[in-house]
Structures are given as structure tokens and as C-alpha cells.
Structure 1
Amino acid sequence: MAARTFDAFTTPKAGVIWGLTVPQLLFLSVATFPAWMAISSQRWLAGVLWVPVWLLLLFLTVVPLGGRPAVGWLAAATAFAIAGLNGWLTFRSKAATGTLRDLDELDMPGALTGVEVLDGPPVGLTQRRVAVIKHGAVRTWAITARIEHDGIAMATDALCSRYADGLTELLDTAARGELISEIHLMVRATPDDCTERELWLRANITPDAPVTSVATQIEHLRWSQAGVRTEAFITLVIPDNRLSKEARHMGGATDGRMNTLLSLAAEIGAVVTGPMGAREVTWLTSPELAQTVRLGFAPGDRAGLVAAAHDASADASVNASVPWALAGPSQAYAAVRHYAHDAWATVTATVKLPERGATMGGWGHVLAPSEAVERRSVAVVFPIEKQSAADRKAAQQEFGQSLGQGLKDRLGVRTGAKDHRRQAKLDRVEVQLAMGATLSHPYALCSTTVPATAPVAEFGRRLDAAIRRGGMAPQRLDMSQDLAFVTATLPLGVSLTTRHQ
């Protein structure tokens, strides 16, 4: 099983002493001052009475409840309540309110507000204009490609090991250029609606065909609907402050940024089609990206879009594209435990990757829809550190681990197996960094999208169960379902972290 495991990542944050961060240590240290002042003035009763108060502060600050300390829950609940009172949790599109004026202007809710999609320069023999995504709020640029891959369902251990090494090489290649800050890998699995097959039957079955032949084709169509259609995407995210420096040598201003993005796309695409084993990498144009976003919000629209594309091949007057102004939902609402968009609802959970490494193919349980009306999606975000920042963070983690271990030795506390494994991993990370490898601390999100009339809570429970069957632990992203939905299902370069270096 070791050959099928990818473990070239570390935890993003490590506590200095016994898992406590520096702010937590400072807060708890300051909280002891009243007790010390009472003891210094020989007010013993006041000092003893402060101990339960300090223990309560310790519980509220340190003990996680559902993934967050109590203080974090209080801050999140307060912000969520304020957003609800101000109407920020509800979205209605311009088309729904009758104020739509420009079909090319994006009209998106929540974290997608202010996003622009620009057409890059024409490249290749087909003169494709690749879509470039500009995030003005966080000052980043992104570019997305569709990946055609055979998967690893029938792959041997040796082939899975090669793919794991290819993923490591992808991260190292992105880090060496010191431009890319994040790589998003996304897979969406939707029950097959058999639209293409139905169109083929309509075009090829003649009225005088034998009845048995027609019945056989209809029976095949009914059974083929048990299949699942998957689509995979890769998104590169580059901060503007890094891109602007490189753009000076590639044409300057917006043209230089786009030329730089296209060169990065060619470099990363070669790794994806090489060591990672993809058959084809297609960087999406603006119409293709708009259709991908629309299907992210409304999976049931695929049949109509495929039929429109089929009709457009015979009749040029048929409009088979999706305008950006209509690519988003007409209305959306962020509830505490799910996100409602048009006639659909999505539940998203984050996944803590195991320290022993993620098993290649372990996402198969998560991606398999439990019913024909369900769409599953998995997105893994790889934040990539610069070499200097990676060395500094590795040194900080090593210092914190050594300091905590030294205190345990002085106090006679036994060192557990987890501590030994963590120390061994930190030592291996330092060796890899010295050899030019990169430092990454990825996180994953899984979502399930069902019709709004379906029991959303039940499908969320099934998603959690599927994650556990894959050997991982789910954590529902309560009060952040809108941002989680965008990160998990839309390949636009939006992540849970909004600060980029």
C-alpha cells in the first residue's frame, strides 16, 4: 500500500508547545496575571477563585469544538448573524430583477463578486483564446484547463506510485518558477444523462427499423444511465505582485501578464500529460469556462446545452453558448449547513488529510453518487510556498517541536508514537527542502449537490459517511457554505485562503 500513497505534504501550522500557538500562549499567560497579583498581595482566596476562571478561558481558547475553539465559533456566529441581518447571505441576479444590461458582465454571488474573465491572445493553429480569470478582491490571476485522464481504477501499484511521483514533480515544477501560489485539482462526478446516446439514436434509427432493434437500443439506453460522467480540472493561481514583475519582460501590463500565464500553462501542461499520465490537457476558452461554471451551479442543464450544441452544428442560428451574465444562479442563499442555488442545494465538507499520507484512489468512495439525482465533487488545493518561506516555516516547525520535546524531557513526560512520527517527517522535509523540493500543506473539500426538493441533510450525512469509508475525517464547513461551494465545485481559482504572498 505504500506504493499507492502520496505524502509529500506537511501540516500548515504547528504549535510551539504542546500544540499551542503563540497567540494562545500569550493570552493564557496574560490570563494568569490576576492570580499572581492576588498571591503577591497574600489574597489567597482571590487567587484560588481565579483558577476556575482561568480553566474556563483555557477551555474556550484551546479545546476545539467541531474544528474550531469556542472563541472562533462565537466570532463566526456573530459575523454570520450580522451578514444575515444586512441581507448579505441572499443573492438575486440582475436577470432575475430585470436590471441586466450587458451579457458579457459577470453576475455572481458571494466570493465571486468582482471576478473578471478576460480573453487571452490567440495561440496555436486553431487560434484559441484561453480564458484568464482576474480576482480583483484578492489581487490574483488564474487559468483553468480540462484534464482527460484514464484514472487509476485499474492501475497497478507501480503505476499509482508513478502518478504519486508525478504529482510531487508537478508541485516542484510550480515552486521552482516562484510564480504559482496555488494549484487546484478538481473532479466532478455526475450521473450520466445519456444525452449524446439519445441524440445518436434519434439520428440513426429509421422508421422502418426492426422493432426488436429499437427495443434493444432503448433497453441499452436505460441501463447506460447507471453510469457516472466525470470531468477533471486543474487551475493555476498566481498573485498579481509576482506576475507583474515577470510581465515587464513579457510585453508589460495586461498583455505581459497573459503571455506569462500562457507560458506557465505550457510548462505545467507538459508535466500533467507526462509524469501524471493525462491523455490531454485543454485550457478553457471563455465560452467553455462559462458553460463549466453554469453546470457547477445547475448540473441538470447539461442535457439542454449538449442538445443545443448538436443543433448548432447543423443550424448556425442556434445559440449554444452561455453568456457570463447568465452563468450564475438567478438566486442563492447561504444557510448554516448548506448552500441553496436556484433549484439545487449543496453541502460541502472539508477533509483533514491523514498524516500517514493520502492513498491513491481513496477518493473513489467520495466521488460515487449515492443516487441518480446527486452530483459529487472533490477539490484539492495545494498552496505552494516560496523556497525562502518554506525554509523559514520548516525551521519554525523544527524549533517548536524541539522546544516542546525538551520541556517534555525535563518534566519526565513520555514521548508518544505521534511525536516520533512527526519528528521523523520534519527531518525528512528538511532533507527534501535542502535537495530543492517544495513545501506544501494541501487541504481538500468534498461536496454533494442535489435538487432542493431532496432531503439535503440526509445527502450531507451520506457524504460524511463516504469520506470516512475513504479513511479520512470530514468536517462540515458551517456558516461558510457559500465560499466552500465555490472552492469545491467551480474551477475559478477561489480558495478558502484569501491571503497570497
Structure 2
Amino acid sequence: MPTTDQKTPGSELTPMKFSRLTRRGVLLGLSVAQLITLGIGGLALLAAFYGGAGMLLVYTAPVWLLAVVLTWVPIAGRPMVEWLPVALWWLWRSTGGQLLYRRRIVKPRPAGSLALPGDMARLREHLDPETGACMIHDPRQATLTVVTEVTHPAFILLDPGEQERRVTSWGRVLATVCRSGRIATLQVLERTLPDSGSGLAEWWAEHGTDDGSWAATTYRELIERAGPAGERHATTVSLSLDMKVASRQIRTAGGGIRGAAAVLRQEMATLVAALRSADLTPSGWLGPGQVAVILRSAYDPAVAATLERHGRLGQELAAAGPVAVTETWGNLRTDSAWHTVLWVSEWPRSLVYPGFLAPVLLSTGIQRAVSLIYTPMRSDQAARDIRKKKVEHISDAAQRARIGQIEDAAQTAEYQDVLQQEADLTAGHGILRVSGLISVSAPSVDELEAAVAAIEQASIQASCETRRLVGQQAVAFTAAALPLCRTV
């Protein structure tokens, strides 16, 4: 959770800093998995000693040596033992043929379902008769999600006073989500799309004079060529209702999906009012056709401009999914592109100003989607979590002092973050868990690697640390590139 500091002289903007990613273990900096492997190795070593040592130490050496390696040898900044669940789950999926998806052309999906791969095949569509919004129902997670597109002026071009006011207003939007208690997830998705050239074409049709002259013909051809070569930005906000938490209100509203839709409409009205108060302009809740275009464009970027130029083309939700998906360890291949998802593993540790993500969001020539996933925590749940963290920090500090271990500055900073969160919660503020994902797309693997390198460099300029999510690219892509409030 970000915290604010005093205003710097000569500036109207307030710098902020983010809480550190917790790297503290259960005991002496060791995680549960590390303690298990270390315990197994220690038991094998003790058994060899009490059994007579000598050759027993040699016989048991593979066990305790492997335990030591798994516990302390790092790979990409993480101990080897923490990679075991990812590797085992990857092997299980690869042996079960779950890394490949091919749509059955001759067997279309039933009406009301989404033709999406993996666990998203269970998603169902519900068309709200009152608002015309397409609500996506997840029966397993018991959520109901709705999407709206938001337009806004360029934040970086505003003066500092206006930027400060808009940041404060956005904080009120997030506070509204926290106070609801029925919201499972709020997702903000910012995408770059190839410009179809429709804006230039509309301007020429309204203001141009197509009289057949050489100048008019040349200008018209230039618009047709230059339009699709550009790119534009689109921002959506997705709201997900937790049907388990809101079960009482759903029963009061009539029960079932219709009752859940009635409860979600209340949250939609509240969110729209909050967005407008923050000078953000929601363009209405997206219907099935608009959601279908977003899904199709994510899996098949080559047809994004074509779908925008042609009115009703590709607006069938049952056919919006990919034709083929192939997942590898670090990439994802879909219809017309390769994709890689990066996780923002560390937000800025030092004070930064609100526009710190500009190097990532304004990178040109790269097709990418930046997704911020906000998960609100109930006040009682947040209080229990903070108390648990405080007890763990204090007990770890006492244990380190007992064995003579020096206190680490990073551990002290994490403890100060916990105290700050407790103070904010006591003052009446909400607690949000924020996850940042960046999906990068390109037509080929070489272009993809170059784009990923550029995004990683832009993230460094934004004072953020990113990591490639390996072994789970398919799930991460649905969370990063689709406005469905999915999580990794």
C-alpha cells in the first residue's frame, strides 16, 4: 500500500512510496518449504550419526546434500525448493496435454458460453436487460464481472496541481471499492492497439473535399496507408462481484444470476459516480459484442484494426476465443502473435511522483497491455493479517538476537511498512493488495524478445523490478491481457 510524504518545496505534487515485497520467512528468513527440506536433511544426518556414522554418512549423503542444495542454492533469486511446485505442475500439465488448445471448428460452443482455453471455458455470459451490459459469470470462483471503457486526458500533460487533484480523486475511487465489502477484484487494463485509421478517415469524410483531383487522391491514399501504421491507447475498468460475500443481498434481490446482477448494478452505479467525480469518463458498460472484440484482439492482434473498421464483424462472444494456443515455459503462442507476461515484483522503494509509470505506459512501437489488479481486504481480515505480521516480525527479531544475528535494514523497513499499514487502517483507510502484470506481444519470437527487453528497460526507468512468469504463461496472459478480473 503506498504511503505519502511531505510535499517538497516548490512543487505541488506529493511524492509517494510503496510497501516492500515481503521476503521474510517463517523462521530466521526461511520459508515453510525451506524448513521442510532442511528438516528432512537434518533428520537424515542425525540418523546417520546415531546409527554409527562412517559409511552411513556416505549412504545418506545424497539425501542431506540434496536438502542443502534445495534449501540454499538460488535460481533467479529464489531457492530451488520454491521452484519445485512450479516445475511439477508444469510437468503434470505437459503430460496431460494441457499446454495445447485447438478449437473444435465443427463443434461450436453452446450459446451463452465463452470459447476460451483452460479453466476459462467454464465462464458464462449474462446479458443484463436493464443496462445492456455483458456480465461474465464464473461458477467456480462465484464471481460476476462487468467491464467499462474509460476515457481521460493525458495525465503527464497536466499541470502539477491538476495531477495532484486527480491522484487524490482516484484514491477516493479505490476507497469506495474498499468500503463496499462485496467487491472481489477491481482491474484497470491499459492496452496499446494498432490504429485502424478510422479517426483520420472520419475527419477526411467530414472536412475533406474528394473531388477526384490529384491532391485529393494522394491525400486519401496517404490516410489509408498511415492510419493502420499508428497506435492508440484504450483503458478499461473491470468490476467483479463476490457472490459468496454478497449472498444475503443476492437472495433478497431474488437469488440466482438475476439477483447477483441486481446487486452488481448497485456497485456499478457507485463506481460510475466515483469515476466521474475523479474526472474520468466511462463510456458505458460494454455489451457482448464489445467484450468479444477485446478478447479476439488480445489473442489475434493482427485483426484488431480490421475488427474496428468493420461494424459488426467479430462481435460474437461464442467465437471470440483463439483458434489455437501453444504454451511454452516462458512464452505463449496464439493465433497471430507470441506473448510474454512480466510480473511487477517490486514497486518503487524510494519516493516517486504519480507519473512514475510513464516510461512503460508511453513506450511506442511495442504492443503491450498493463494490468493493475486491486484486491480489497475486509477490515477484520486486514487487521488479523497485520497482527500476524507484527507477531512474526517481533518473534523473528527475538530469535535473531538470541543467536547473535545482526538485524537487517530490509527487515526493519518491512516492519515499518506493517506499522504504517496498521496506522492507516486505524485511521479508517482501506487496505488493497495491488498486483501489476505486463503482457508483451509481437509477431515473432525475435521481435518479442526485443520488445520484452525494451519493456524491462522502461520498468527500470520507472524504478520498478519485473520478472518473467515462467511455467504459467497461459494463466498469466488471461490475467494481464483480458479484462475479466482474473488472478494468477
TM-score, scaled relative to structure 1: 0.84
Whole-angstrom distance in 2 between the partners of 1:283 and 1:221: 31
Asked whether the 8 Å contact 2:194–2:305 carries over to 1, the reply is no
Matches within 5 A, 1:17-56: 17-29=27-39, 31-38=41-48, 43=53, 54=64, 56=66
Whole-angstrom distance in 2 between the partners of 1:460 and 1:40: 54
Q: 1:400 aligns with which of 377, 392, 396?
A: 392
Greater mean alpha carbon deviation, residues 286-295 or residues 13-22: 13-22
Asked whether the 8 Å contact 2:21–2:345 carries over to 1, the reply is no
Matches within 5 A, 1:148-297: 148-201=151-204, 205-208=208-211, 211-212=214-215, 215=218, 227-275=230-278, 277-280=279-282, 282-297=284-299
Change (3 A) 1:322 1:223: closer
1:121 aligns with 129
2:87 aligns with 77
Secondary structure of 1:378's aligned partner: strand
- Please state if 1:303 is matched with 2:289: no
Secondary structure of 2:437's aligned partner: strand
Whole-angstrom distance in 2 between the partners of 1:138 and 1:428: 32
Asked whether the 8 Å contact 2:295–2:321 carries over to 1, the reply is yes
2:333 aligns with 340
Whole-angstrom distance in 2 between the partners of 1:150 and 1:57: 55
Asked whether the 8 Å contact 1:121–1:258 carries over to 2, the reply is no
**1:205 CA displacement:** 4.5
Q: 2:431 aligns with which of 414, 430, 439?
A: 439
Matches within 5 A, 1:461-500: 461-496=453-488
Change (3 A) 1:281 1:205: closer
- Please state if 1:90 is matched with 2:100: yes
Q: 2:137 aligns with which of 122, 128, 134?
A: 134
Asked whether the 8 Å contact 1:20–1:62 carries over to 2, the reply is no
**1:118 CA displacement:** 0.5
Whole-angstrom distance in 2 between the partners of 1:423 and 1:416: 11
Secondary structure of 2:168's aligned partner: helix
Secondary structure of 2:236's aligned partner: strand
- Please state if 1:428 is matched with 2:433: no
Deviations 1:415-460 (A, max 9, x none): 3432332222211111111122222232211111122476333333
* One-letter amino acid of the counterpart of residue 171, structure 1: L
1:16 aligns with 26
Asked whether the 8 Å contact 2:99–2:327 carries over to 1, the reply is yes
Asked whether the 8 Å contact 1:365–1:470 carries over to 2, the reply is yes
Deviations 1:34-81 (A, max 9, x none): 444555667488679979964642441355422543234343233323
Whole-angstrom distance in 2 between the partners of 1:266 and 1:51: 65
Give unmatched runs, 5+ long, in structure 2: 6-12
1:314 aligns with none
Asked whether the 8 Å contact 1:143–1:236 carries over to 2, the reply is yes
Q: Percent identity?
A: 21
* One-letter amino acid of the counterpart of residue 363, structure 1: L
Change (3 A) 1:38 1:303: closer
Secondary structure of 1:365's aligned partner: helix
Change (3 A) 1:346 1:112: same
* One-letter amino acid of the counterpart of residue 230, structure 1: H
RMSD: 3.1
Asked whether the 8 Å contact 1:4–1:164 carries over to 2, the reply is no
**1:256 CA displacement:** 1.4
Whole-angstrom distance in 1 between the partners of 2:317 and 2:261: 20
Whole-angstrom distance in 1 between the partners of 2:284 and 2:42: 59
* One-letter amino acid of the counterpart of residue 97, structure 2: G
Secondary structure of 1:376's aligned partner: strand
Deviations 1:327-349 (A, max 9, x none): 11111111222111111111111
Higher relative contact order (CA 8 A, sep 6+): 1
Q: 1:108 aligns with which of 103, 116, 130?
A: 116
* One-letter amino acid of the counterpart of residue 285, structure 1: G
1:363 aligns with 357
Asked whether the 8 Å contact 1:4–1:157 carries over to 2, the reply is no
Change (3 A) 1:211 1:379: same
Change (3 A) 1:90 1:404: same
2:321 aligns with 328
Greater mean alpha carbon deviation, residues 153-162 or residues 339-348: 153-162
TM-score, scaled relative to structure 2: 0.87
Change (3 A) 1:453 1:419: closer
Whole-angstrom distance in 1 between the partners of 2:137 and 2:351: 33
Whole-angstrom distance in 1 between the partners of 2:415 and 2:113: 51
1:313 aligns with none
Give unmatched runs, 5+ long, in structure 1: 123-127, 310-318, 497-501
**1:131 CA displacement:** 1.4
Whole-angstrom distance in 2 between the partners of 1:55 and 1:293: 49
Secondary structure of 1:61's aligned partner: helix
Greater mean alpha carbon deviation, residues 138-147 or residues 387-396: 138-147
* One-letter amino acid of the counterpart of residue 293, structure 1: L
- The number of aligned residues is 477
Whole-angstrom distance in 2 between the partners of 1:29 and 1:167: 48
Change (3 A) 1:406 1:105: closer
Secondary structure of 1:17's aligned partner: coil
